A and B are shown apart, each in its own frame.
Chain A
C-alpha cells in the first residue's frame, strides 16, 4: 500500500506510456519522468529539447503535443 497524489500517479503513468509510444530505453524514461515531475507535463511537451533528449525523440514529442492539443480542443 502506498500514498501517491493523483498528480504523481498520473505523471508516472504518462512517463511509462511515453516510453512505450516512443520506444524509449530506461534512461530516457527516467529523464521524462523527472522532467514531468519537476516542470509539469505542459512545460515538458512544449520544451522537450531542454531535457537532453535526441532531436528524433523531441520531434515525436512535438507530434504527441499536437495530437493531445487537438483532442483536448475537440473534446476527444
Chain B
C-alpha cells in the first residue's frame, strides 16, 4: 500500500513519537509504511517510542469506534451483523475487558449502545436490576450483550453463560428479550446463540439450563 505524502507522514510521526526518521525511511523502501504503526517492534525502536506508537494506535482505534458509533440507524437483524458491529466497537480493545449492551426497538434498530462495565465479567461488575432499569428507560424490546476477551480466548466462560442467564431471567417478566451474547477476541467474534451456548429462560431463576445443540 502506498501512502500519499509519505514524506510528511514520516516527519510528523518522527516528531510525535521520537522514532528515527532515517530508520523509518529505510524501512519503507521494502515495507508498507503503515507497518510502522501496526507492527512497531519490527523496527527495534526504543521502549518509550514503542509506548507512544501503541498509544497512537489505540487513539486511532478509539477514533474509528467513534466514527462507527455515529451510525445510529443500524439494524441488528442477524448474527453476522451483530458480530460485525461489536467487532468494530471492541476489536481493538486489548488492555481491558469492556461490557456493552445494545438496546433495540421492535424493528431491532439500535436505540442506544452503552458501556455498562469495564474490568471483568463477574457478578460484582454487573447488576441486572440496573440493566433492567436502563432497558425500561430506553423503552426497548430486546437487548444484545457483548464483551471482549483481552486475552483473545474465543470461547464463552461459565461466568459469561451465568451472566447471560441472569439477564434473561430478570428481563423476561418485562417482555424484553435477550437476543444474543457476542464475545469478541481480537479480530474475531462468536455468538453464544450460534454456538448453542445460549441459556433459555428459567422461571425458577435457579437451575441453569444451557441449550446444547
Contact = CB atoms under 8 A, between A and B. Distances in A.
B59 A1 contact: no
Interface in B44-62: 51-52, 55-56, 58-60, 62
B130 interface: yes
A52 interface: no
Interface string A1-17: 11111111111011001
Interface in B1-35: 1, 3, 5, 8-9, 12-13, 15-17, 34
A67 interface: yes
B211 interface: no
Contacts of A63: 12-13, 15-16
A37 B3 CA distance: 31
Interface size band for A? 20 to 34
B59 A64 contact: yes
A17 B8 CA distance: 23
A16 B55 CA distance: 9
Interface string A54-76: 00000010111011101110101
A20 interface: yes
Contacts of B130: 1, 3
A5 B3 contact: no
B110 to A, nearest CB: 10
A76 B127 contact: no
Given A60-B15, A64-B59, A74-B3, A4 B38 contact: no
Contacts of B55: 17, 20-21
Contacts of A62: 12
B66 A7 contact: yes
B186 to A, nearest CB: 17
A1 B66 contact: no
A65 B12 CA distance: 10
B8 A66 contact: yes
Contacts of B51: 20
Contacts of B13: 63, 67
Nearest to A76: B34
Contacts of A67: 9, 12-13, 16, 37, 56, 60
Best-buried of A1, A64, A68 by chain B (most CB within 10 Å): A1
A69 to B, nearest CB: 10
13 contacts: A2-B115, A3-B115, A3-B134, A5-B112, A14-B62, A17-B58, A20-B55, A60-B15, A66-B8, A71-B34, A71-B60, A72-B64, A76-B38
Given A2-B116, A21-B59, A71-B37, 8 more contacts: A1-B116, A2-B115, A5-B114, A13-B62, A17-B59, A67-B16, A72-B60, A76-B37
